[in-house]
Amino acid sequence: MTPDQYCQDKAAKSGSSFYYSFMFLPPPQRRAITAFYAFCREVDDVVDECTDISIAATKLAWWEKQVLDLYANPPIATHPVCQALAPHIEPYRIERQHLLDLIAGMRMDLEQTRYLDFTALSLYCHRVAGVVGLVAARIFAPQAKDTDGYAAKLGLALQLTNIIRDVGDDARKGRIYLPVEDLQRFEVPAHQILKATPSAQFTELMRFQTERARIIYREALDLLPETEVKGQRAGLIMAAIYAKLLREIELSGFDVLEQRTSLTPLRKLWIAWTTWHRPLAWRP
């Protein structure tokens, strides 16, 4: 199996909505984003699949060394994901710090399970998702200018949508990403979320989180130059899928404590196709 094939398998097996945003890209960009996405999956899996924190920390340190080896001259990284990513580093301006920041975000999951306020949560979101947006935007449109602000903001909106969708799943792992200051404002004690106990206050809390995410989607789109919309269609597909997911969560009455809302593959494909042809029609 070649490094590219390894990454393709990793991306396809994930079942993520990101996969649908790759489908319409030209082959060189599709290979680059698939390799980068496989890297994201690898480091994310360290935290998701490793129950021993010390072992997970050791594995993340190993990945940091792989990143340093990837940027050696010549690259000496041994993992197939890094080998697949190596040819794309220079053409798509993928910075070493981007990859290290992503790993730092994963390390935050090992070190804390609560975030005091939105500022603290935003740092986490930037590392695990904003950086992904920055790299993806450069791959989607290598010659683009002035898209970093849009890309980082869109990554934040996507991660907030993830957090809203996964409240129940995260609580079962002992994690609450919703800021403590928001829980206190809406009078939702942490134990209510950990025990999956719905309430009117919880519904209002989730309504607030949803509107915050929508505002950030709008802010991201406002930062995207009109001349760059076509080049960023792949990222806008992801945004359209997640915006629809956010709407479905809202229609469910924010029933996120005991179930995980998702869209069918056919529905994702339809959103991808329509967004490719009308990139901003989904705007919230």
pLDDT digits (tens, 9 = 90+) for 69-107: 999 999 999 999 999 999 999 999 999 999 999 999 999
- Model confidence, pTM: 0.93
The structure tokens 């340190």 sit at 61
Say if residue 124 is in the same domain as residue 68.
Answer: no
Q: What is the CATH number of the domain that holds 104?
A: 1.10.600.10
Q: Which long-range contacts (CB under 8 A, 24 or more apart) does 26-30 make?
A: 29/139, 29/140, 29/142, 29/234
Tally of domains in the chain: 2
Looking at this protein, which amino acid is placed at residue 158?
L
**Which amino acid appears at position 165 of this protein?**
R
Judgement on whether residues 214 and 170 belong to the same structural domain of the protein = yes
Same-domain status, 100 and 135: no
Which one of 82, 111, 140 terminates a domain?
A: 111
Q: What is the tens place of the pLDDT at every residue in 252-268?
A: 999 999 999 999 989 99
Q: What angle do CA 110, 137, 160 make, to 5 degrees?
A: 45
- Contacts of the segment 59-64: beta carbons below 8 A, 24+ positions apart: 60/103, 60/106, 60/107, 60/110, 63/103, 64/100, 64/103
pLDDT above 90 for 191 = yes
> Is there a single domain that holds both residue 199 and residue 284?
yes
Q: Examine the domain organization and report whether 255 and 128 are in the same domain.
A: yes
The CA distance from 39 to 186, in Å, is: 38
Cα dihedral 147→209→13→88 (10° resolution): 20
Tokens for 232, please give them.
């960023």
Structure confidence at residue 249 as a pLDDT band (50, 70, 90): very high
What is residue 42's predicted lDDT score, i.e. its pLDDT?
Answer: 94
**Same domain flag for 177 and 93:** no
Last residue of a domain, one of 62, 86, 111: 111
Domain limit, last residue, from 111, 140, 159: 111
Instruction: Say whether pLDDT at 183 is over 90.
Output: yes
Co-location of 229 and 282 in the same domain: yes
* 143 lies in the same domain as 277: yes
Does one domain contain both 94 and 146?
Answer: no
Domain of 81?
A: 1-111
**102 and 120, same domain (yes or no):** no
In a shared domain, residues 85 and 120: no
